[in-house]
Amino acid sequence: MSTITETPLDAAPLEQSTLFRFATAGSVDDGKSTLVGRLLHDSKAILADTLDAVTRTSADRGFGGENGSTQKIDLALLTDGLRAEREQGITIDVAYRYFATDRRSFILADCPGHIQYTKNTVTGASTADAVVVLIDARKGVLEQTRRHLSVLRLLRVPNVIVAVNKIDLTGFSEDVFRTIETDVQAVAAGIGLDDVVVIPVSALEGDNVVERSAHTPWYTGASLLELLETLPTTDELERGLEPFRFPVQLVVRPQGALAPELTLADDAGASFRDYRAYAGQVASGAVAVGDEITVLPSGRKASVVGIDFAGRTLEKAVAPQSVSLRLSEEIDIARGDVIAATGTFGEVSQDLYAELCWLSDKPLREGAKVLIKHGSKTVQGLIRAVTGKLELESFAYGQASGLGLNDIGTAQIRLASPVPIETYARHRRTGAFLVIDPQDGNTLAAGMVRDHPGDHEDERYAI
């Protein structure tokens, strides 16, 4: 069983505390806000002054009254942030919330459940190590559930959990739960989503949220929080599997403008006279001093002679560390280039075939000129063709010539210059990009690179 500690410092050595990002998805009446409120409340993330304020508002709204509920506060109030949200009782946008147990620090992307589901789910899930999809136990698997699971499959969210909520309202019925569980697994199998975990919960009463419930003796799995504490993160899952990728953010070449502790006049400073390193965040894999690397798109090769981090030298760096690399050769490298492990990258291309989650009211049309932001590089792009639109009901692609808000489709994009881009299926971090409106600068779509139809993977990726 997990234990929540009120004094994390003493109970939890920081060295063991990892960071886990998760998001919630659910439709309006599934009890999502209540579940989030319950997680925050039961994990003691809500401090006394906040709880006082929520208790007062709850009392004003008649909570803790005569309806027999054991609940003294409206847990959903814990997550209503903006004035309009409180006034209208709706959730407008993704909010981020924080809590910690003795094992992990959690970043929760609390996504609204209203009709703009795709947009919000994509936003919340793009950085998530896990997504919790809610189902109302009385309603079972709905169209909405299929949509959510489809989007999560597309985004390759590493861990998907389905919480069958309001199980108390079915009298904690095992039959109800097993039926829904079977339905969920059938849908998941149909769209190619592996390892979906299904849990019976009551967010309102707290069953199987933090503590395992005595009301569901037929359920032998973990509570929601126990799962969140133990599931692997994206980095843990991908560590060691993916080759090294390092988008260069900027070149550190201080020359005279050295940090104050260093002056060119003294010995320490003089050694930095010709300092040149490439700053960035390791997007995937690992790099060690001595490794052979290739710079993309130029294809020039060198070896790593130093890995610097703020005055320290490291022997090795792993995703997602932000470091600076020194190389054996003075080659021309600029922001937007990618440093990759030699021999792991097939080709750079000016043509993209991609999945787009369209997030803007402004529709996508063929022939549109856009900006593509991938890693640290932004290039112009031309939408050559919209090749299909995903029908979430069937998870099949239908004909389309454009995409509108919340649509998911495939498109062919021609880039103004070659970009080292890889498929999202292979590299979740290096296969993603933004589509940006060149006029007003707004983000139009989330993009995920696919293989060209008909391409053989082995031809694209030289080993």
DSSP 8-state class, residue 452: P
416 lies in the binding site for another protein (CB under 8 A):
no
Q: How far apart are CA 457 and CA 438, in angstroms?
A: 32
According to CB under 8 A, which one of 174, 183, 238, 308 is a site residue for another protein?
Answer: 308
Which residues between 129 and 168 bind another protein (CB under 8 A)?
Answer: none
Around Cβ 295, how many Cβ atoms within 10 Å? 24
Min separation Cβ 251 and another protein, Å = 10
Half-sphere exposure of 273 (CA within 13 A, CB side): 6
Q: Residue 311 has which token pair?
A: 């005055």
Which residues between 41 and 80 bind another protein (CB under 8 A)?
Answer: 47-50, 80
Q: Which is nearer to another protein, 77 or 141 (CB)?
A: 77
Dihedral-angle region of residue 423 (phi above 0 means left; psi in -120 to 50 means alpha; beta otherwise): beta
Min separation Cβ 29 and another protein, Å = 22
Q: How far apart are CA 62 and CA 164, in angstroms?
A: 27
Within 8 A by CB and 6+ apart from 176, the residues are 137, 167, 170
Taking contact as CB under 8 A, which single stretch among the options 22-30, 102-110, 146-154, 193-201 is the one that binds another protein?
102-110
Half-sphere exposure of 422 (CA within 13 A, CB side): 26
Distance between alpha carbon 129 and the CA centroid of its chain, in Å? 6
303 lies in the binding site for another protein (CB under 8 A):
no
Q: Which is nearer to another protein, 227 or 435 (CB)?
A: 435
102 lies in the binding site for another protein (CB under 8 A):
no
Min separation Cβ 343 and another protein, Å = 21
| x-marked contacts with another protein along 420-459 as a string, rule CB under 8 A | ---------x--xxx-x---xxxx--x-------------
297 lies in the binding site for another protein (CB under 8 A):
no
265 lies in the binding site for another protein (CB under 8 A):
no
According to CB under 8 A, which one of 3, 69, 88, 127 is a site residue for another protein?
Answer: 127
- Does a cis peptide bond (omega within 30 degrees of 0) precede residue 420? no
Min separation Cβ 391 and another protein, Å = 23
Taking contact as CB under 8 A, which single stretch among the options 214-222, 223-231, 302-310, 383-391 is the one that binds another protein?
302-310
Contact criterion met (CB below 8 Å) for 251 and 334: yes
Whose structure tokens read 């993704």? 94
Whose structure tokens read 């990009």? 433
Taking contact as CB under 8 A, which single stretch among the options 25-33, 116-124, 386-394, 407-415 is the one that binds another protein?
116-124
